[in-house]
Structures are given as C-alpha cells and as structure tokens.
Structure 1
Amino acid sequence: MDRFFKLKEHGTTVRTEVMAGLTTFMTMAYILAVNPNILSAFGSGATGMDWTAVFLATAIAAGVVTICMGLFVNFPVALAPGMGLNAYFATVILASNGKFTYQMALTAVFISGIIFILLTVTKVRQMLLVAVPDSLKHAITVGIGLFITIIGLKNSGLLTVAVELVNDVPKGKYTDLLSFETVFHIGSMHNVNVLLTIIGLFLISILMVLRVRGAILFGILLTTVIGIFMHNPDGSAVVNLATLTSNQTTWVPDLTKLAFADFDFAGVMNAGIISVVLTFTFVELFDTFGTLVGTANRAGIMKNETEGRKRVGKAMMVDAIGVSGGALVGTSTVTAFVESSAGIAEGGRTGLTAVTTGICFLLAIFLAPLAALVPGAATAAALIVVGVLMMQSVKEIDFSDLVYGIPAFFIVAFMPFTYNIANGISFGIVSYVVLATTARLGGKGQYKVHWLMWVLAVLIVLRYIFITE
C-alpha cells in the first residue's frame, strides 16, 4: 500500500489517509439525502424519478468514481452528484410541463459527459479556462449559490411566491386587461416545515461556526431527530419512524430499481436539448477546474508544477468519465467536491484518502431506509447553507473594474431571479464581450477578448433568437 500510493514520498501514513477519507465522507455525506430529495422533487416523485433509485445511483456513482480517482490518479479528491446542477436537472423537468422527461435529462447529462471527455482529450477544456476571465468564473459559483438558496427557501415554505392583482378593472371588462405581478413573501411561522427549516438553519450554522467536521451532515441528522417530535396539522409525524419496521421496508439494496441506462435519445432530439447540454457542460467545466486546482494547491501537489499539472489532467479525465457514468446509473452530473478540502486539512495527500471515502459511499447503499427519513425541511436548510459557502467566492470578483464587474453582476443576478443557470452565464459572456471590446476601441488595450469568447457569444445570441424556451 505504501508503494502503490507513495505514502512516504508524500509524508503521510495509512492511518492519516484513512482518517482523512472518513472526514471527507462525513463532510459530503449530506448529498446522500439531498440529491434524492431534489431529483425526486423532494420525495413527491414530481420529476418521475424514484427516491430509492436516485439514492442508490448517488451512492454507487460517488463510490465508484471516487475510488477510481484514488486508484488511477492517486488524488485525494472525492466526487459525487454536484449541488446546483442537480437543482437545474430537476428544474428543467418540472418547468417543461411534461415535455421534458427525466429520461431526456439523463440523456442530456450523458451527452454532456461525452462532450466533456472530448474537450479534455483535445485540450479544448484548458483553452476555455483561459478564455473566460477569473471574475466571471467566480461569479458563476456565486450565482449557483444564490440559485440553490432560492430553491431551498422555496421548497421549505420559508419563501412563498404569489401572483397578485396590481390594478382593479371595472365589472364587465375582459380579464386580459388585468395586470398582475409576482410577489415574494416570507412563509408562515405557524407552518411546521418552515419552523423545522429555521431550526435546521440555526443548528447547521452553529456547528459550522464551531468548526465541527461534518457540520452539514450532523445538522441534517439533528434536524431529523427534532422532526420526530413535531407533527403536521393533520396529526401525522413529520418524521415517521414506523416506516423502519414496515413490511415494505428493506435494508438490502434493490438494485433492480436503478434507472440504469434509462435514456431517451429519440425524444431528446425534439426537446430543445442544445441549451440544456451546453449548460451542464459549461458549468461543470468551471466548477471542476476550480475544485481540482484549489484542492491540489492545498494538498501541495502543485509544488512540482509539471507533475502537478499531469495529475490534475488525469483527475479531469476521471471526472469527465464520471459525468457519463453517473447518468448511466441514473443521477445528475457527478463532479469533484470542494468538501474534499476537509480531508486534505486532516492530512490527506494521496489516493488512499479518496479510496476510503469511496468505500464509505458504497457501504451507504445499505442505509437507504434511514436516509429516507430525512424531511424536506432538513434538506432545504442544507441547501441554504451550501449557498452561503458558494457565496464566499464573491470576494474574488473585481467589482471595481466595471468591464468585469457588470458581467459578473449579470451572472449573479440573472441565475436566481430568472430561475435559470444558463441565463446568467449567457448574459455574463455576451456583456463581457461587448464591454471589453468597447473598452479596447476606446484605447484600453488591457482588456483581451479570447476568440473562443466570441464564438460563445455568437452561439448564445443565436440560441435566444432561434431556440424557443
């Protein structure tokens, strides 16, 4: 094991690596409860996806791909279905009013994974990372954070959306003369789900302030325990422990429920797939790059720049394959998790850390009944707090230079307020190309517009002109 993972060379031990792997698992295990809740539309099945099937897919995809990262790259980074893209995945289905099925969405993720592999092999991926300014990359992270936060607030009932009449029209007039507007309100504090969400928010926040490892996971668990003692208006328990002893509950994973290769290539060609695939691909590109490079720096892997780049390149390939692999077993985009930095902070330096985390995910497939107890309020609280973590990237955006600041703001604002990740990225890219080009024509030569940004801008404009929503 020492020779395979080069433990001595990296100044670490088996015990340190295993403990680091367990720490990483504890910090990101919340995805086992959150991802099935989101993809099944918070357990309602509104997307058509089965909760258990998504749970198994999440555990298997995270386990297998993370183990591959450890064995083939010797990299201490774990992967799982990513936050933000899973919410986008569910939103695409729910907003289509039945025109876009989960099979089509899985197909879109699978196709984006193939594109991702090609971009990695041909080095175009690295070119994209050079083309887009750093401020815009960080803005994407912030925008997704706010997008996740709104989803958490909305699904918890803490934020309500109402359509209200703006002006009165005399009797007898046609209803199309009425004027309405969408208004946001805070949810009722008498709503048990709202109360439980607020409790969850405080619990997770306190644990994070106290720097407790696995704060999000422990916060979800504590919120679930509190939910046992709370009841809905009809008298039913928010968390029903009776399901654990039900005749229909099994602790042995039923792998036949997996939506394995449940694709719809024929249907996807007629469903406006281009913008969806591009969104999955584009967001994953920047999200993975930032995570891999950031964790590599913290682990000291980039000290030897040549060797570090090779390992990051290999890690990108495993990540790319994981995208299609995750879709194959029935889950949204698999990506590198920034929570891996928790294990690195505990001393993880090699792939043994990732292998340990991956094994934990595979063992978790036997815990589906426990994960199913987690109420939507606990998951919503976790989503809101994850938004806080992603918001931290705002300090990296140069708002003092409006050539970067305005496009970054458009990205941050349009994602949550239009409830669409692609809209934010699109407005950011197009506005940057316009503003940077205008600045250059005005004699400010420090602003460069990569030719690939022009290509992206043209494609985006064509998308809004010719592709209907």
Structure 2
Amino acid sequence: MDRFFKLKENGTSVRVEMMAGLTTFMTMAYILAVNPLILGAAGMDWMSIFLATAIAAGVMTVAMGLFVNFPVALAPGMGLNAYFAAVVVSSNGAISWQMALTAVFMSGIIFIILTVTKVRQLLLVAVPDTLKHAITVGIGLFITVVGLKNSGLMTIVLEPFTDVPAHSGRPALGAETVLTMGSFHDPNVQLAIIGILLIGILLVLRIKGAILFGILGTTIIGYFMGLVDLASLGKATWLPDFSKLEFAQFDFAGVFNVGIISIIATFTFVELFDTFGTLVGTANRAGFMKNRQEGNKRVGKAMMVDAVGVSAGALVGTSTVTAFVESSAGVAEGGRTGLTSVTTGACFLLALFLAPIAALIPGSAASAALIVVGVLMMQSVKEIEFQDLVQGIPAFLTIVFMPFTYNIANGISMGIIAYVILATVGGGNKYKVHWLMWILFVLVLARYLFIGGE
C-alpha cells in the first residue's frame, strides 16, 4: 500500500489517510439525503436516485484514488442537481427527466473531448476569473432559492402561468409582490429555520461533518414535531434493491426534438469552472503545486476522471457528478494521496445499506442544508473587484440573473455579453478579450436572438 500510494514520499501514513478519507465523507455525506429530494421534484424515484448517488460517488471517488492518487472525492454536484430539477419542472412536461439525464450524459461526452483535446484548458484561460467567481456566487444564490421554496420559507403570491408560452407572461407591476415569506405557523417552515440555525451553530463551532450532523439533528427534532415516521424503519429492507436503479434511461430522440442544446452547454460550462476551482484549490492546499509541472500533470489526470464521472453518473441515473470542494476538509486532516479518496469512496458504497435511514430525512432538513451551502458558496464574492466596473457589472449580472430568472444559463450568458462589450470599450490595455470569449459572445447572442432563451 505504501508503494502504490507513495505514502512515505508524501509524508503520510495509512492511519492519517483513512482518517482524512472518513473526514471528507462526513463533510459531504449530506448529498445522499439532499440529492434524492432535489431530483425527486423532477419525478424521479427516491430509491433509484439514492442508489445512483451512492454508486456514482463511491465508484468515481475510488477511481480518483486508484488512477490519479489524488485526495479528491466526487459526487453529484450541488447547484447542477437543482438546475436539473428546475429544467424538468419549469418545462411543464416538455422536458422529461430522461431527456435531462441524456443532456447530462452528452455534456460528459463533450467534457471528455474538451479534456483530451486540451480545449478545456484553453477555456479556463479565456474566461476571466471575475466571471468564474461570479458563477460560484450565482449558483449559491440559486440553490438558496431552491431551499427557500422547498421548505416553504419563501412562497409565491402570483401563481405561475401554466398555459402561457415562455417569455410571454405579463410583467409584474410596481405595486405587486411576487415572492413573500412563508407562514411561521407551518411546522415545515419551523423545522427549516431550526435546521438552518443548528447547522450554522455546528459550522461556527467548527464541528467536522457539520452539515451532515445538522441534517441528522434536524431530523431528530422533526420526529418530536411529528414530521418523521420512525415506524417505516420496521418495514424497511436494508439490502439495496438494485432493480430500482434507473440504468441508461436516455431519450436521445426527445432531446433533439425539444432542442435543449443550451441546457447541455450549461451543464458543460458550469461543471468546467466548478471542477477547475476545486481541483486546483485542493492541489494547492495539499502542496502538489510546489512542483508546478508535476502538479499540473496530476490535475490534468484528475480532470479526465472527473469528465468520465459526468457521463457515468448519468448512466446510473443521477445529475452531474463533479469534484467536491468539501475534499479540502480531508486534506486539512492530512490527506495527501489517493488512499484518502479510496476510503471516502468505500464509505459511499457502504452507505448503500443505509437507505432506510436516509429516507427518514424530511425535506425541511435538506432545504436547510441547501440554504447553508448557499452561504458557503457566497464567500467567493470577496474575490470580485466591484470597484472596477469592467469586472463588477458582468459579475453582478451573472449573479443576479441566476436566482431571479431561475436559470443558471441566463446568468452565465449575461455575464459573457457584458464582459466582452465592457472590456472591449473601456478596458484599455488592462483587459484583453480572448478570441474564444468572442466565439462564446456570438453563440450566446444567437441563442437568445435566433434559437430562443430556453
């Protein structure tokens, strides 16, 4: 094991690596409870999503450890799972979850091609850092809105139009309120508030696995509030029923008939920057980038495993699988090699036998976790120089369009358009617009002017 993972060379041991892997699992295990609830809104079966989440996270994280020797874990990503569900729900039946899974699978194939051809690295250079940080912040607000809606903390006053074509609804008048606060008499709202405060307290106290323990604690409180039925455990089957797995449920004909190219592009685009930030950040924290050539080589291999994970996750029935930023928790505990990832992956595979417990977790507890994760993603806002309006205006548009139009693609598109124009007109010698940004600019304009903003 020492020779395979190069433990001594990296100044670590089996015990340190396994404890680091367990720490990483504890910090990201909440996805096992949250992902089925989010994707369930798209009409998917809870058990099939739970199985897919555990299998995809377990297998791809073990692969990261064995093939790359990199202490990074993968699982269905927050934000993109919410976008997945929002695409299906907001389409009023035009887009099925099978089509959405197909879009994720195709984005993974594109991702693999971009990685092999080195275009992926070129995109990372072309898009300015300010937009990368803004995308993270915008997704954080997007999943916060999802959490507020699902918990009942935020309600809608004007019922959405059901039979009106997209973009043809009546504009809201100045005196109208579209969104408002939920009722504090609703026990689900009460539990969500308790969950937010409990997870917040655990984070402030720097408890390892704060989000997971917060969800479990909120679930226990929910039992005393009559929102959790423990009787179901007595009738539960603890052995995983793999017959419920939605394997290769693709609808390629439906995708091309509906025309959701922009959705495929959004999955690809967001995953591109999300993964880059996580892998490079983790590599820096682990000290791999001291030797930049070796560090870049390792990150490049990790990108390939991550790219394969996107399509593999869709194959077993879940939304985009990506590198998790929570992996830094394991690195902070001393994880330096792939043994950390193998340990984390093994924990996810063992979790296949804990489905009955995960099924008890109420939606309010998961919603509280979504809102708090939004807070953590919001931290990237400090990296944006709003005083420099060439950066500030595109970043602001990227951030606000995501939650307010309930569409991640709209935020990215507005940011690209604004940045290219402002950097060209007022950037002077300070800002050089990469030629690839001009291609993205044209594609975005074509999307809205000729294809439509779906």
With the length of structure 1 as denominator, give the TM-score of the two structures.
0.93
* 2:303 equivalent to 1:316: yes
Distance 2:312 2:36 in 1: 17
* 2:234 equivalent to 1:239: no
* SS across alignment from 1:98: coil
Alignment of 1:33-432 (within 5 A): 33-41=33-41, 47-163=42-158, 181-231=176-226, 238-246=227-235, 249-432=236-419
Distance 2:33 2:172 in 1: 43
Q: Contact 1:439–1:445 (CA<8 Å) still a contact in 2?
A: no
Q: CA deviation at 1:48?
A: 2.2
State the one-letter code of the partner of 1:17.
E
Match of 1:433 among 420, 439, 443: 420
1:467 paired residue number: 451
Q: CA deviation at 1:272?
A: 2.2
Over 3 Å counting, the alpha-carbon distance change for 1:178 and 1:448 in structure 2 is closer
Q: CA deviation at 1:456?
A: 0.4
* SS across alignment from 2:322: strand
* SS across alignment from 2:7: coil
Q: CA deviation at 1:161?
A: 1.2
State the one-letter code of the partner of 1:97.
N
Distance 1:417 1:326 in 2: 29
Deviations 1:109-162 (A, max 9, x none): 000000000000000001000001111100000000000111101110111111
Distance 1:56 1:466 in 2: 40
Structure 2 portions without partners, runs of 5+: 160-169
Between stretches 459-468 and 219-228, larger displacement belongs to: 459-468
Q: CA deviation at 1:243?
A: 0.7
Distance 2:422 2:218 in 1: 47
Distance 2:14 2:124 in 1: 35
Distance 2:177 2:297 in 1: 51
2:162 paired residue number: none
Q: Contact 2:150–2:367 (CA<8 Å) still a contact in 1?
A: yes
Distance 1:278 1:408 in 2: 20
Deviations 1:272-325 (A, max 9, x none): 210100000000000000000000000011111110000000000000000000
State the one-letter code of the partner of 1:454.
W
Q: Contact 2:172–2:178 (CA<8 Å) still a contact in 1?
A: no
Q: Contact 2:192–2:368 (CA<8 Å) still a contact in 1?
A: yes
* SS across alignment from 2:156: strand
2:431 paired residue number: 447
Displacement over 6 Å in runs of 4+: 176-180
* SS across alignment from 1:160: strand
Q: CA deviation at 1:342?
A: 0.3
- Structure with the greater alpha carbon radius of gyration: 1
* SS across alignment from 2:271: helix
State the one-letter code of the partner of 2:47.
T
Q: Contact 2:5–2:69 (CA<8 Å) still a contact in 1?
A: yes
Q: CA deviation at 1:54?
A: 0.1
Deviations 1:78-130 (A, max 9, x none): 00000000000000000011110010000000000000000000000010000
1:172 paired residue number: none
2:164 paired residue number: none
Q: CA deviation at 1:163?
A: 1.4
Q: CA deviation at 1:39?
A: 0.1
* SS across alignment from 1:48: coil
What count of residue pairs does the alignment treat as equivalent?
442
Distance 1:20 1:178 in 2: 51
* SS across alignment from 1:143: helix
Distance 1:272 1:415 in 2: 21
* 2:22 equivalent to 1:22: yes
Distance 1:210 1:271 in 2: 49
Between stretches 444-453 and 67-76, larger displacement belongs to: 444-453
Q: CA deviation at 1:182?
A: 4.7
Over 3 Å counting, the alpha-carbon distance change for 1:192 and 1:124 in structure 2 is same
